[in-house]
Amino acid sequence: MPVDVQTDRSIAILLLSEPDTYNALSRSLVKALHAALDDEQVQKSRAIVIGSTDRYFSAGANINDLLDGWMLDADDTASPVKLFERLSTDPRPTIAAIDGGALGGGFELMLSCDLAIASSKAWFSLPELGHGVIPNTALMRLQRIVGVRRMMQCIMTGERIDSQLALDMGLVNALAADPVAQSVDMAASIVDRVAPGALAVAKAFAMKHANDDWQAVHQSLQQVPAPEWQEGLSAFTQKRPARYDAFWQEQAENRLKKNA
């Protein structure tokens, strides 16, 4: 099963379980996560923990799915952004338990949860610009956590962020030897002390005050120049360096024409 569903003390635990793809957020895995969230036991739960059973939390979006429509169709019900929006707007506590690499969409899956706990093996990266695409959900949610300059550094460089730096930056709330178990404990302690209606209102207004605009997130991929992402994603699948020199030259020529 691509998603292993468990429960513990009224906490739903969803474990990504596709090691062959490093838990890449393909259409099939996104659909499986939606199905897991619709599961009766998960619906009855008071909180949700998302983890993994592999050395990768998630390697990000599936490149073939990006090439096959995700960059053009903002209404695809199996797009990762639909999943991220659903998690961020769920009235219950959502906690990401990261025990390995969280890249691109995997990083954004973590950002879409209310809280995050990582192991010493966790690491994070946003490599999208190098592939000619954008981390559209991270552009909305990351800067509120780490600030604009640090966000731009993460996005522009695609640098690898280890678990200790992630803690220092505020990307994760805590480090733990077993992040799933620690996340379940945290979730249980939360739901034992708070009123569900008040929590739902607090989450809703937190997002309102933060000016979350999911419609803009859905539409933003369509603003990326198609020749650039076609080159970047094709280069990735062909395991060669992307060739962006012509695009830089075109941009420079357009500036000169504009300023002439």
* Whole-angstrom distance, CA of residue 53 vs CA of residue 30: 16
> What is the 8-class DSSP label of residue 221?
G
Active site residue 159: no
> 3-class DSSP state for residue 219?
helix
CA distance readout (Å), 67 to 62, 84, 107, 108, 226: 9, 20, 20, 19, 10
Token pair 């706990």 is found at 117
**Catalytic status, residue 128:** yes
Q: Are 58 and 52 in contact (CB under 8 A)?
A: yes
Q: Give me the catalytic one of 128, 159, 228, 231.
A: 128
Point out the catalytic residue in the list 18, 85, 108, 231: 108
Alpha-carbon 54 to chain mean position: 17
Active site residues: 108, 128
